[in-house]
Homo-oligomer: A and B are copies of this chain.
Amino acid sequence: MTDTGDEFLVRPPQDELPDDIYAEDGSVRSDFLVLVGAAIADRDTLFLRQRVARLHESELGDLIEAIQPEQRLALVRLLGDDFDLTALTEVDEAIRLQIVDQMPNEQIAAAIGELDSDDAVYILEDLDHEDREEILAKLPFTERVRLRRALDYPESSAGRRMQTEFVAVPPFWTVGQTIDYMRDEDDLPESFTQIFVIDPTFKLLGTVDLDRILRTKRQMKIETIMRETSHAVPAEMDQEEAAQLFEQYDLLSAAVVDENDRLVGVLTIDDVVDVIQEEAEEDLLRLGGVGDEELSDSVVETSRSRVPWLAVNLVTAFISASVISLFEGTIEQVVALAILMPIVAGMGGNAGSQTMTVTVRALATRNLDIHNAWRVARREAGVGLINGALFGTLVGVVAAIWFRDVSIGGIITTAMLINMFAAAMAGITIPVLLHRSGTDPAVSSAVFVTAITDTTGFFSFLGLATWWFMSS
């Protein structure tokens, strides 16, 4: 029997398959996709359970993203109870909704019960109110109360991202008692790196890292080894702020407390890593003029989400055009100006975007503050003048030779010096002012900086030329 041309596709037994589902470039291997696709078509649940259900949640997520849209739901149905719902926390929002919307609420409820509460919340928060209530109603009481409490906190808050399963002990317990408790208790979180110390009202008293427990003698009291400065995170705190705490103090997990300092959950570094990624991605996309979009969005969704930025840029483009129109008469007489003016504006735009990028990033990482803002502004001014002089002279020489006119060279050199200095100043001032006024500088800095470098570029170049050619 050969592999090709047969009516029945023969799938190799488990142990002949390679361990790694990824190809060199990080995408899911094509041969693996073919096998999975054929298994779905053949409803070969044995293969799917042995080979797909055992994948790590993130691998299963990548697989779901890589197969054809119409295969996704079929795969979930064929896996049945063996489908690990956590995989859905690893896929694009659009794909997640597509799958969850078509799964029966009973199946979701059964699967949700198996998840850590933070993963459960991640999936529940996207559902519409009705579906969510129906699923919650099918859950055991304590589970339901926990999830509802997390869902009550605002979107993007620490309370939403927290896990409500944790280990908490009273301060008067000994290390030995604590270890015995962990050995006997079945209902511990799936994994944890620290335990919390609380009083009878659940007020947080301190934390103890697991390695601390392991190196301490059994008879020692927990209160003698707990740390009090535990960087507890208020549940209402924005997830980005919480992520900064984790970064600054190298935390692995942090207690989440309610307004009365009572322990309600734990925030873990793996969720924080996701937050850090999301925030960095947001800044990058916003600087490029893109909002919240995902690769799986449709043409119409994508077009619509990109319109606002293009519209704002259109307004500034018309402002630049009207600046040019002021000098219509000059351009009619010296067409070289029309040829050269995009160079002045464009180089200013590039210099401005360099300064702006550095500024936006430094603000996001809190590296730029009142203590060094002046020094950085002075530096950028210097850089603008140096590079303006350098490139201005270069362009001036080329322009003078090209159009056999020294005055054109002098005019463009001066205009570029002015514009690249203006670019540097706009590149630092605009993000800082936006930041001070409470706006995210990544969103709108680029539009303003380009508006300034375009208008300054056209105005200085054409203005100088008009003054020179029209008065001489």
Interface residues of A (CB under 8 A from B): 25-28, 30, 33, 56, 58-59, 65-66, 179, 182-183, 185, 188, 191-193, 209-211, 213-217, 244, 246-250, 252, 269-270, 272-273, 276-277, 280-281, 283-285, 287-290, 293, 295, 297-300, 302-303, 306-307, 309-311, 313-314, 317-318, 320-322, 324-325, 328, 331-332, 335, 338-343, 345-347, 350-351, 353-354, 356-358, 361-362, 365-372, 376, 379-380, 382-383, 386-387, 390-391, 394-395, 398, 450, 454, 458
Contact = CB atoms under 8 A, between A and B. Distances in A.
Contact of A33 (B185, B371, B379, B395): B371
Nearest to A436: B25
B276 A273 contact: yes
5 contacts: A276-B277, A288-B358, A295-B358, A310-B347, A317-B342
A351 B305 CA distance: 12
Nearest to A217: B183
Contacts of A290: 354, 357-358
A284 B357 contact: yes
A250 B276 contact: no
A22 to B, nearest CB: 9
Leading 8 A-B pairs by shortest Cβ distance? A288-B357, A27-B369, A280-B280, A299-B382, A338-B338, A210-B210, A250-B270, A26-B366
A138 to B, nearest CB: 28
B307 A390 contact: yes
Interface centre among A217, A280, A390 (most CB of B within 10 A): A280
B299 A383 contact: yes
Given A307-B387, A338-B324, A383-B299, A289 B350 contact: yes
A4 B328 CA distance: 63
B382 A287 contact: no
A339 B393 CA distance: 26
Contacts of A307: 387, 390
Given A182-B214, A306-B354, A252 B361 contact: no
A209 B320 CA distance: 62
Given A247-B273, A317-B347, A367 B295 contact: yes
A249 B56 contact: yes
A252 B268 CA distance: 10
A210 B193 contact: yes
A391 B314 contact: yes
A357 to B, nearest CB: 3
A346 B309 contact: no
A244 B59 CA distance: 13
A215 B188 contact: yes
Contact of A317 (B293, B297, B346): B346
Contacts of A365: 277, 281
Given A28-B371, A324-B339, 17 more contacts: A66-B372, A252-B269, A269-B269, A276-B276, A276-B277, A277-B365, A280-B281, A285-B357, A295-B358, A295-B362, A299-B383, A302-B380, A310-B347, A310-B387, A314-B343, A321-B340, A332-B335
A179 B214 contact: yes
A342 B372 contact: no
A368 B215 contact: no
B357 A287 contact: yes
A298 B379 contact: yes
A343 B395 CA distance: 23
Contacts of A458: 342
Contacts of A380: 302
Given A215-B188, A345-B342, A370 B27 contact: yes
A82 B309 CA distance: 53
Contacts of A450: 346
A23 B458 CA distance: 42
Given A290-B357, A320-B342, A342-B321, A395 B314 contact: yes
Contacts of A56: 248-249
Contact of A331 (B182, B213, B246, B331): B331
A211 B210 contact: yes
Contacts of A182: 211, 214-215
Given A210-B210, A317-B342, A338-B331, A299 B379 contact: yes
Interface centre among A26, A209, A346 (most CB of B within 10 A): A346
